[in-house]
Amino acid sequence: MSRIFIQRGDITQCTTDAIVNAANTSLLGGGGVDGAIHRAAGPELLAECRTLGGCRTGEAKATRAYHLPCRYVIHTPGPIWHGGHAGEAVLLAGCYQNCLRIASELNCKTVAFPSISTGVYRFPLNRAAEIAIRTIEEYLSTHAEIEQVSMICFDGTTLSAYQNALSEWEANHV
């Protein structure tokens, strides 16, 4: 049975051990989920992010969560979509792998992800959902320490895409 749960909601309300921030490479805040996480965490998050020296696309760095109801924020800059021929799929998979690796290192049992790169970075939603589900399922298959991964979807369209991707994965990996 899958340890991935898909739900519609606000990632800043998640009480998981860690939440993932779909950050930009500066790690200094931005729009969308990045801005919402920075606003909810408070100015201490920005102050800590300033000490990290940014982060390359596909990689990840963790901070404390400050005023959020979780313990950690794992920041990962997703790839900007350039038509699919600039390594975007590999970079997006790297976002999920590196966030999960850091979550394991921090002894997190529960992690919540947003849909990385599907907003202003324009990664096609269905393809991004398939990459996310595949990458998370493959990681979880060899890492029992993470008990649950939640995909927190901002809207119904995103929710449907991730539900469909998870159903497809389960149908093909029984």
**What token pair was written down for 30?**
């931005």
The rounded distance, in Å, linking the Cα atoms of 62 and 125 is 25
CATH code where residue 158 lies: 3.40.220.10
pLDDT tens per residue, range 76-126 = 999 999 999 999 999 999 999 999 999 999 999 999 999 999 999 999 999
Q: Give me the domain span that covers residue 86.
A: 4-172
Question: What is the separation, in whole angstroms, between the first and last Cα of the chain?
Answer: 9
Q: Whole-number mean pLDDT of the chain?
A: 97
The per-residue pLDDT for 139 is 98
Residue 34 designated active-site: yes
Number of domains in the chain: 1
List the one residue out of 64, 62, 113 whose CA is nearest residue 92. Answer: 113
* Average pLDDT, integer, range 2-6: 93
pLDDT tens per residue, range 22-71 = 999 999 998 899 999 999 999 999 999 999 999 999 999 999 999 999 99
pLDDT tens per residue, range 147-167 = 999 999 999 999 999 999 999
Predicted TM-score (pTM) of this structure: 0.97
Q: What angle do CA 11, 126, 88 make, to 5 degrees?
A: 85
The per-residue pLDDT for 50 is 96
